[in-house]
Structure 1
């Protein structure tokens, strides 16, 4: 396995000039100029994130996004349609208010989780309880009836709300080490407390609901200032809300110290039954090899704690902008160019897996799939995903990219195939050459991934523009290549930790009935 910094070499330049002719340089220059002089990224981001908002599968906002994308592609002269791939639980978020009402009054920072049941119009007001320390599951069952009529706190109270980098910068070494030791001990103690109940974070909400709790409050801190992870409720009739670390810590301490705090939760949402859900597919038809395909891939859906800006609004607008540029400058590509904006990636790559299942004729003739996900940063890594000859064709395509758009880019050939992570894995499992355009972090994992802070203002447009240029050039080069990409798989290496050989992933079925 070779890790390479991409270099301009005399051999590759010679090869490119012979394979693609002088027009490749002219096309690359035109792509760069169009992307920089007439960028549509900012208005696309505003319309998608600010106006439409979050795109949780099964919500009206997701369908609005599908329709918006079709209209946008069509305005650029690109054929587009929404392809139904399955059905899902229809749900729409309403308002959330959480207020401390005893021993004092203050509004708290919180929101209901995805698919949370609604309260009545009056909301629910009740005293708080904490998951207790018990010896075993029998003792927990004896305690369980006491939750009736109460609101239950189910998360650990964090000992500090400061990220570790803040401690590293300002604390003494002794103080930092002391905090980490105490935090580790507290975390282990909380884990033991939960284990003793016989349940875990995935199923305890249902148990508490069945025991008569009126609501559940959690706080899933992301280890960054102001950021919490916002996922799904896992209850049928009672609301589940997530509070900020700061407010959760306050009401936890009040409860722990016997102040008998009460909070009021007003969480409005609407159940919409089972609704159809879609992938948005745009197509620029090829001329010489129309039955071969280059696919620009990004998942369109998001969680709805914020507006899904970096997960995956940035990947979406990267692919849309690349398609717009190519349609304007390269309207008659050699191969057919498809843009796939997938639904329900967040619940298991469902949209892309369904597309792979439904369109074997496309998958069998894929020249390349370029997928972008996981943040707003510049693309800095491309893995060959285990395809033996990926070095040859990706390397030659990348040589056409001007240095300033790839000077940080590393490649990993032949690499190892991904088993998940994002939608390119759906194609890799089916044997199609699909590649992740992996980007710089920009604190993605702590601050924007699945959090309440994943908003328009976190987008770094210069980096996204870089990615749109890179994607457009790679797509042009892949389309124009005289050769069809080889699909031979490399012999995979041995996992150094387990001493077992990596295996190629098998295709997995899409969950097409999440509404049931």
Structure 2
């Protein structure tokens, strides 16, 4: 999901932390050597992406990845590795075939991806394209009797504007400082004009796919149209940002066939039709729905605690295993899952025996609203008594970038602790501790009930510009050295949390909360 940072307060981190939070230098060295010199993180990522394929929740690809993770965690010596059901999700879905080509006035293959949970065409279809130029109910009603056998495309302005900015970037020292210095807030928030353009593009896409399309879909299905074509302002240079196409509830009907195109393939069709030049397309889409098991599953495994007093207490780490369909979910979020799996592998490989129990969780249903993690928290920690043995949850879900620090989620008492834990890794680029909140991913499930849940600060690389929820979210966009660094830091944080005498401090409850 899109990750938005809300800047709030400021951390004042003392140079010296409590004595118990000074990391064990010998263990930190072992973690670094294992994670940087003998890393398996890219092989893990390969298994989760190229081998498993797209990992839409309840799809065959998700099941392949979850089975692999469960088996691999067991082989590394973690205990009770399992697929744990968390509740009802709905239909699984898989794309079996997708072909779209312009055949008149000339031939040209087009780049397009069907929206998830939409139906297929039942074979190759050749059809005229009809331009939809209005959106109000009177206009939609005027289309009655005109849609049978047609492929529909909605009119839109040509919105492509060159940005003249690189797709990939890292946080500068000034930006990292801005996360801790309110005087530099503008550096973090970036160019306001660019942000306004991004928001307007998002609104335009919303108007096309959410407001116009549902009315069209209803009439299109009733009239016997073949498909609807959509696009968005970000769909350019061969990249398509594409997500869901409607309900996935088990009892709901299949959604109408809808495909998202690149702007460069979409706009020529619109311009031809506006010039009264007939346009014809060949279309062949095959999709499969899976309803035999509509429950959803998280992957769970443990390193049991070694201290008789502390082993009932939990230190958790995780990321979401599910993805969207156009790529193989490499940066969102096979990268986070591979780092978390590598972190527990490192701890196992160097032979440490954490005092508290370490539990890894790979979530499903995150892309539909943090469903897997929220259900897990609801099922596992239903009341205050069940929450007493919980120390912390660490999440990774902002792409392939290296860790630059950590968001405290306003838990100021953890600031000095985390500053001390990051000190051995400043040479690797990690040192920022900010009181800021960040949202949009699974640590919120824990933070929402006042359990310490944290997300790491990561270099953005191409996350929001190129890979997030797009057909470019593939293995080739991963940065191996960044993922190695991230796994080392996560392993250190998990180990330090498991070893300290006390659980991590919690935020004060809001006034009036019991």
What TM-score, normalized by structure 2, do the two folds share? 0.82
Which whole-Å CA distance do the structure 1 matches of 2:38 and 2:207 have between them?
A: 57
Which whole-Å CA distance do the structure 2 matches of 1:256 and 1:355 have between them?
A: 52
1:224, 1:447 within 8 Å by CA — same for their partners in 2? Answer: no
Q: 1:187 to 1:295 in 2, by over 3 A?
A: closer
List per-residue Cα deviations over 1:346-392 (Å, max 9, x = no partner).
00001101110111176442211110002111222422212342224
Q: 1:392 to 1:237 in 2, by over 3 A?
A: closer
Q: 1:306 to 1:367 in 2, by over 3 A?
A: same
Runs of 5+ consecutive residues of structure 2 not aligned to the other structure: 1-7, 168-193, 247-252
Which whole-Å CA distance do the structure 1 matches of 2:227 and 2:269 have between them?
A: 15
Which whole-Å CA distance do the structure 1 matches of 2:275 and 2:208 have between them?
A: 20
Which whole-Å CA distance do the structure 2 matches of 1:380 and 1:290 have between them?
A: 30
1:4, 1:410 within 8 Å by CA — same for their partners in 2? Answer: no
Could you tell me which residue of structure 1 aligns to residue 272 of structure 2? 254
> Which has the higher mean CA deviation after the structures are superposed, 142-151 or 290-299?
142-151
Which whole-Å CA distance do the structure 2 matches of 1:212 and 1:286 have between them?
A: 61
Runs of 5+ consecutive residues of structure 1 not aligned to the other structure: 168-179, 493-502, 507-516
1:285 Cα offset (Å): 0.5
1:404 to 427, 434, 456: 427
Could you tell me which residue of structure 2 aligns to residue 227 of structure 1? 239
Correspondence 1:192-211 to 2 at 5 A:
199-201=211-213, 204-211=216-223
2:228 to 202, 216, 228: 216
List per-residue Cα deviations over 1:168-187 (Å, max 9, x = no partner).
xxxxxxxxxxxx9xx99x97
Which whole-Å CA distance do the structure 2 matches of 1:3 and 1:370 have between them?
A: 21
1:220, 1:230 within 8 Å by CA — same for their partners in 2? Answer: no
Which whole-Å CA distance do the structure 2 matches of 1:24 and 1:322 have between them?
A: 17
Which whole-Å CA distance do the structure 1 matches of 2:447 and 2:216 have between them?
A: 36
Which whole-Å CA distance do the structure 2 matches of 1:404 and 1:384 have between them?
A: 21
Which whole-Å CA distance do the structure 2 matches of 1:116 and 1:307 have between them?
A: 19
Q: Across the two proteins, how many residue pairs are aligned to each other?
A: 465
Could you tell me which residue of structure 2 aligns to residue 499 of structure 1? none
SS of structure 1 residue aligned to 2:421? helix
Which whole-Å CA distance do the structure 1 matches of 2:37 and 2:50 have between them?
A: 24
1:155, 1:220 within 8 Å by CA — same for their partners in 2? Answer: no
1:154 Cα offset (Å): 3.3
> Which has the higher mean CA deviation after the structures are superposed, 441-450 or 482-491?
482-491
Which whole-Å CA distance do the structure 1 matches of 2:394 and 2:403 have between them?
A: 12
1:209 Cα offset (Å): 2.7
Could you tell me which residue of structure 2 aligns to residue 131 of structure 1? 132
Superposition CA RMSD, Å = 3.2
Q: 1:254 to 1:5 in 2, by over 3 A?
A: farther
1:314 to 316, 335, 338: 335
Which whole-Å CA distance do the structure 2 matches of 1:314 and 1:149 have between them?
A: 43
What TM-score, normalized by structure 1, do the two folds share? 0.82
1:317 Cα offset (Å): 0.5
1:139 Cα offset (Å): 3.4
2:425, 2:431 within 8 Å by CA — same for their partners in 1? Answer: no
SS of structure 2 residue aligned to 1:77? coil
Which whole-Å CA distance do the structure 2 matches of 1:271 and 1:215 have between them?
A: 18
1:243 Cα offset (Å): 1.8
SS of structure 2 residue aligned to 1:290? coil
2:392 to 368, 377, 385: 368
1:363, 1:430 within 8 Å by CA — same for their partners in 2? Answer: no
Could you tell me which residue of structure 1 aligns to residue 187 of structure 2? none
SS of structure 1 residue aligned to 2:311? strand
